Chain A
Amino acid sequence: MASHSKSRWADDEEDAALEAQRKREKELKRKVKAEKQRKLEEQESLRRQNPVDATEDATHDHEAINGAAERPFKRRKLSPEPDTPLKELPPAKLLRFPAPEWGPCRHVDNFEKLNHIEEGSYGWVSRAKETATGGIVALKKLKMDNSNDGFPVTGLREIQTLMASRHTNIVALREVVMGDKLDDVFLVMDFLEHDLKTLQEDMLDAFSPSEIKTLLLQLTSAVDYLHSNWILHRDLKTSNLLMNNRGQLKVADFGMARYYGDPPPKLTQLVVTLWYRAPELLLGAEKYGAEIDLWSVGCIFGELLTKDPLLQGKNEVDQLSKIFELCGIPTEATWPGFKRLPNARSLRLPSISQTTGNVLRAKFPLLTTAGSALLTSLLSPNPAQRPTASEVLAHPYFREDPKPKSTAMFPTFPSKAGQEKRRRLASPSAPKRGDAPRIAGEAADFSGIFANRDTEEVGGGFALKLI
Chain B
Amino acid sequence: MAPEPEQLSSLSNPLATVDQLSTSSSQLDGVPADLEGSLRFAGAKLTQAAGILLRLPQEIIAQAIVIFYRFYLGSEGGSFRINAVKDVSAASLYMTAKISFLPQSTRSVLNVYAYLLSPTSPLRQPSEGITGKEKPDAESYYLSEGSYHSARATLLQTESILLRSISFITQVTLPHHLALTYLQTLGVLPPSPTTKSSALAARTLAHLNTALFSPQLLYLTHQPPHLAVSAIYLAAREVGVKLPSMEWWEVFDVDRETLGFLVVGLGSCEGWIEGENEKWTEISCPLTLDELEEEIRRRDVENG
Contact = CB atoms under 8 A, between A and B. Distances in A.
Contact of B170 (A59, A65, A159): A159
Given A59-B264, A150-B94, A153-B99, A167 B21 contact: no
Interface string B249-276: 0100111111111011100100110010
Given A84-B245, A165-B9, A176 B168 contact: yes
A69 B33 contact: yes
Interface stretch (B138-146, B153-161, B195-203): B153-161
Contacts of B11: 97
Contact of B28 (A7, A26, A70, A92): A26
Interface stretch (B42-50, B69-77, B180-188): B69-77
Contacts of B261: 55, 58-59, 62
B59 to A, nearest CB: 11
A229 B8 contact: no
Contacts of B94: 150
A84 B22 contact: no
B33 A67 contact: yes
A30 B75 contact: yes
B167 interface: yes
Contacts of A440: none
B247 interface: yes
A104 B76 contact: yes
Nearest to B81: A4
Contacts of A160: 99, 168, 170-171
A157 interface: yes
Contact of A89 (B18, B95, B215, B256): B256
B256 A33 contact: no
B128 interface: no
Interface stretch (A74-82, A311-319, A371-379, A405-413): A74-82
A176 B169 CA distance: 9
Contacts of A225: 6
A60 B47 CA distance: 30
B168 A95 contact: no
Interface residues of A, number: 76
A84 B289 contact: no
Contacts of A176: 167-168
Interface string A2-45: 10110111000000000000000010011001100100110000
B159 A103 contact: no
B15 A101 contact: yes
A172 B156 CA distance: 29
Nearest to B247: A89
B137 interface: no
Interface string B198-218: 000000000000000001100
Contacts of B283: none
B10 A99 contact: no
A163 interface: yes
A104 B167 contact: yes
A4 B293 contact: yes
Contacts of B157: 7, 9, 182
B164 A104 contact: yes
Given A55-B260, A104-B76, A98 B8 contact: yes
Contacts of B156: 148, 150-151
Contacts of B275: 72
A1 B10 CA distance: 45
Contacts of B101: 261, 265
Given A26-B28, A104-B165, A151 B160 contact: yes
Given A159-B170, A182-B160, A151 B95 contact: yes
A371 B279 CA distance: 71
3 tightest CB-CB pairs across the interface, nearest first? A55-B260, A5-B289, A73-B268
Interface of A: 1-2, 4-5, 7-9, 26, 29-30, 33-34, 37, 40-41, 54-55, 57-59, 62, 65-70, 72-73, 75-78, 81, 83-84, 86, 89, 91-92, 94-95, 97-105, 148-151, 153, 156-157, 159-160, 163-167, 175-176, 178, 182-183, 185, 225, 228-229, 261, 265
18 contacts: A2-B81, A4-B289, A26-B25, A65-B22, A66-B215, A68-B33, A68-B34, A73-B272, A94-B254, A95-B253, A99-B15, A100-B169, A101-B20, A104-B167, A150-B94, A153-B99, A156-B163, A229-B9
